[in-house]
């Protein structure tokens, strides 16, 4: 079973990395960006037998994957983690 | 317009960070993980007037956001970047 976790800074928290990338893109001529924020994506492949996988992943986030002070996380179940429209 | 870019190491590339996190989770009792890989998520808010936003974001990936030697990227258009099922 494939699960995707998105970990992002909470809305009120200054995203220094995102601000730097936004400015760098503006310097390259991409001035249409109103906002840019950077987070982590963690893609997990769980054993098929895992009962209540989503709850288990939520526990993992609480214990290790996300910092509850600064970050929010979202858990998505994906049918196939290999992206359909991929650029290599 | 909101766009989400997922940047991940290409399948053949060793993901050291992911391997470390997988082992740490196993140490915490989460032994059901078959694979774990870590990437970046970049969430962009573009001006509504941007013509062909997806192509513009693809250009941004080529010029700055992704390393074409090591990384793949996926562009997703999302109706709302604020996650529906969020844990704070």
Query: What are A24-39's pLDDT values in tens digits?
Result: 999 999 999 999 999 9
A83 interaction partners in chain B (CB closer than 8 Å): 6, 72, 74
Strands lying side by side in the sheet with A71-77: A86-87, B71-77, B2-9, B33-46, A33-46, A2-9, A71-77, B86-87
Number of A–B residue contacts, CB under 8 Å: 136
Residue A4 structure tokens: 């995707």
Residue A53, H or E segment? helix A53-60
* pLDDT beyond 90 at B81: no
Q: Would B13 be classed as within a structural domain?
A: yes
* pTM of the complete model: 0.85
Q: What is the pLDDT of residue A51?
A: 82
Based on the structure, what is the number of domains in chain A? 1
* pLDDT beyond 80 at B85: no
Check CB contact of B69 with chain A, cutoff 8 Å.
Answer: no
**For position A6, which CATH number holds?**
3.30.1280.10
Q: Would B40 be classed as within a structural domain?
A: yes
Q: Would A33 be classed as within a structural domain?
A: no
Q: Would B87 be classed as within a structural domain?
A: no
Q: Would A27 be classed as within a structural domain?
A: no
Q: Would A29 be classed as within a structural domain?
A: no
Q: Would A31 be classed as within a structural domain?
A: no
Q: Would B88 be classed as within a structural domain?
A: no
Of B28, B63, B75, the CB nearest to A28: B63
How do residues B16-55 score in pLDDT, each as one tens digit?
999 999 999 999 999 999 999 999 999 999 988 778 889 9
**Helix-, strand-, coil-residue percentages of chain B, each rounded to 5:** 30, 35, 35
Q: Given pLDDT bands bounded at 50, 70 and 90, which one contains residue B57? A: very high
- b vs e for B56-87, b when ≥16 Cβ sit within 10 Å of the residue's Cβ? bbbbbbeeebbeeeebbbbbbeeeebeeeeee
* pLDDT beyond 70 at B83: no
d(CA B70, CA B54): 22
* pLDDT beyond 80 at B11: yes
d(CA A10, CA B23): 27
Q: What is the pLDDT of residue B33?
A: 95
* pLDDT beyond 80 at B4: yes
Number of H helices, E strands in chain A: 2, 4
Q: Which of residues 4-63 of A touch B (CB under 8 A)?
A: 6, 8, 10, 18, 21, 24-25, 28, 30, 32-47, 49-50, 53, 56, 58-63
Q: Please give the distance of CA B40 from its chain centroid, rounded to a whole number.
A: 4
Q: Given pLDDT bands bounded at 50, 70 and 90, which one contains residue A75? A: very high
Instruction: Residue B20: give the domain boundaries.
Output: 2-77
Residue A81 structure tokens: 């983690």
Q: Is A57 left (phi over 0), alpha (psi -120 to 50) or beta?
A: alpha
Do the Cβ atoms of A37 and B42 come within 8 Å? Answer: yes
Q: Which residue on chain B is closest to A49 by alpha carbon? A: B32
């Amino acid at each position: 079973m494939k699960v995707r976790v998105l970990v992002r800074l909470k809305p009120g928290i200054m995203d220094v990395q995102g601000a730097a990338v936004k400015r760098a893109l503006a310097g390259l001529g991409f001035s249409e960006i109103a906002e840019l924020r950077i987070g982590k994506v963690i893609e997990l492949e769980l054993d098929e037998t895992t009962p209540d996988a989503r709850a288990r992943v939520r526990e993992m986030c609480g214990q290790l994957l996300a910092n509850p002070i600064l970050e929010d996380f979202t858990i998505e179940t994906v049918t196939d983690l290999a992206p359909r429209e991929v650029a290599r």
